[in-house]
Structure 1
Amino acid sequence: MAYSGPYVAALPMYDWPEMRGEVDAQWVRLRDAFRQRGIDAPEATARSNRDLPPVPGGIRDGARKLIAPDPATLPPDEFDFHQLWLSPALLFGQTCWGPMELGLARRVQVVAQPSYDAFEGGQGELYSSALVMLADGGPSVASPEDGRAVIPFDRIRGKRFIFNSPDSMSGLLGLTRDLDAIGESLDIFASRSESGGHRSSIVAIAEGRADVAAIDCRSWALAQRFEPAAQGVKVVGWTARRKGLPFITARTTPMDVVASMREAIAGLGLEGSVAKQPFVERVG
């Protein structure tokens, strides 16, 4: 059944405090383009659980199975991204391919893939992660033109690895797959710990609480702009390029609305590619 209440939009994945103005400006461009095509896009983006419409009885799938609690029952000042992604009110949001591959894909539709051309390590819809360690006076390693993984085993073996979250493609899963492809594993590290965010991982390395992390190329660019700790960290390698963070909408969003959003995004030139079909039909 299609959702009939007010829509919600959010662009949380790169919404650093210093980026709020730029994120808001991006949403205004999208919002106005959507509205020009008859879509009732919300005035502003959601940034906390309190901004999500309540769902009495909790969020349920097509079989009426409970998949998430009512947003109104969550701490209002926090922002549960999984709650956002599963909300039937989601008109436009952004996620990571880690959660998508771990089950989110069957709950949402992919609208488009943003372009990463503006960032070292990005190419069109593809992005890679910078492997960062404490700076030692030497130069950083440039992103390879062919987009293949560059992993400095002699530097990272036996070190303390820190990652943002267990379901992150850029911070953990991508590097895991690159290691698997050459017969290695995360066991090359002396320890593994979770930081809660790419920015926190960079700070942990700069403060000596960890040795190495994988930071997606756009987050690394943001860190170089806004995080002082990044000045004490350098790039020592790169993961292979993979699809960047997709723009998504609820599974129940009507296809004519999805098609109109794709047209709007293409018209704004924001995309690396526009999905032609729901992701669930393209798995594998």
Structure 2
Amino acid sequence: MAVNFAFPMYDVHPAGTDALAAAIQRRFPDARFQRPTDLLAHWQRDDLLLSQTCGYPLVTLLPEVQVVGCFHYTAPGCEGINYRSQLVVRQVEAGKTVRDFRGQVAACNSKDSQSGYHALRNSVRHDDAFFRSIVWTGSHRQSLRALQRGAADIAAIDCVSLALLARYEPQALTGLTVIGETALTPGLPLIASRHISAQTLNALREALTEIAHEAEIAEPLLIGGFSPASRRDYDVILKASSYA
């Protein structure tokens, strides 16, 4: 049976993503690689062999998918399967802390983003009056552009995205600086459909462990390892997001 897979979350370096996809296809010849545009529909597919989602959609919108595991990333701010967001502002604001941005405008990619929205809310103790307003941008890259244009004053950018952009699209960070970071949280989970068998799930975990140690594939994507994981590992995200 043909199955589908994708790596939609960190596709900053498409050639690197293609190499990762090819490594999966060598091990799962019936799998078709995609670059989906409707991510929620993609993640909910019955024939989903493998994809990567964000922790917040996992715990709030995807109750039936299986968690395969999580890559370890070598980006600054990552520790094992955990990652954090960096608080980014314009260079002229260097030396300030998040407390100095009360009453300012935040740029956030989407309401279901752990790294771009909920991590930032956690940093201001869920004080929804802390920022004067929020500009919803649709992506981390667009949040950075909002800062560069002066349309917003601060953004939380997932540290892997930030490191990949610094390597492959440094112009995206021109005139910007980091003033702090959010708390560690489990990184972006790799998931599979509930219809994927336990045998295939184990084969996926073995394949991902191997691929994460193939330097020519892993290093360009800042992948430094892989660990199996379960849905329980992500309970902390829901608890933090309901903090009052």
* Band of TM-score, shorter chain: 0.7 to 0.9
Cα RMSD (Å):
2.1
CA contact (8 A) 2:208 2:226 kept: no
Residue in structure 2 matching 1:12, options 1, 8, 18? 8
Aligned to 1:62: none
Matched, 1:178 2:123: yes
Distance, in Å, in 1 between the alignment partners of 2:152 and 2:234 is: 38
- Written as runs of structure 1 = structure 2, the 5 A alignment for 1:235-274 is 235-269=178-212, 271-274=225-228
Residue in structure 2 matching 1:87, options 45, 57, 73? 45
Aligned to 1:279: 231
Distance, in Å, in 2 between the alignment partners of 1:153 and 1:177 is: 12
Q: Which has the higher contact order (CA 8 A, sep 6+)?
A: 2
* C-alpha distance 157-274 of structure 1, shift in aligned 2 (>3 A): same
CA contact (8 A) 1:224 1:231 kept: no
How far 1:283 moved relative to its partner? Answer: 4.6
Residue in structure 1 matching 2:133, options 191, 211, 226? 191
Deviation track 1:12-64 (CA, whole Å, cap 9, x = no partner) reads 11113xx11010011112332x33xxx6333xx2114xxxxxxxxxxxxxxxx
Q: Runs ≥4 in structure 1, deviation > 4 angstroms?
A: 280-284
- Written as runs of structure 1 = structure 2, the 5 A alignment for 1:88-127 is 88-104=46-62, 106-116=63-73, 118-127=74-83
* C-alpha distance 228-282 of structure 1, shift in aligned 2 (>3 A): closer
Q: Higher Cα Rg: structure 1 or 2?
A: 1
Aligned to 1:219: 161
How far 1:281 moved relative to its partner? Answer: 9.6
Instruction: Give the number of equivalent residue pairs.
Output: 224
Deviation track 1:164-220 (CA, whole Å, cap 9, x = no partner) reads 01000000112222332xxx5132111112100000000010011111000000111
Distance, in Å, in 2 between the alignment partners of 1:137 and 1:204 is: 15
Q: Calculate percent identity across the aligned residue pairs.
A: 33
The normalised TM-score by structure 1 is: 0.73
Distance, in Å, in 2 between the alignment partners of 1:224 and 1:135 is: 15
Aligned to 2:114: 169
Aligned to 2:87: 131
Matched, 1:40 2:30: yes
How far 1:103 moved relative to its partner? Answer: 2.7
Q: State the SS of the aligned residue for 1:31.
A: helix
Distance, in Å, in 2 between the alignment partners of 1:283 and 1:230 is: 33
Matched, 1:28 2:18: no
Gaps of 5+ in 2: 213-222, 237-244
How far 1:234 moved relative to its partner? Answer: 0.5
Distance, in Å, in 1 between the alignment partners of 2:23 and 2:193 is: 21
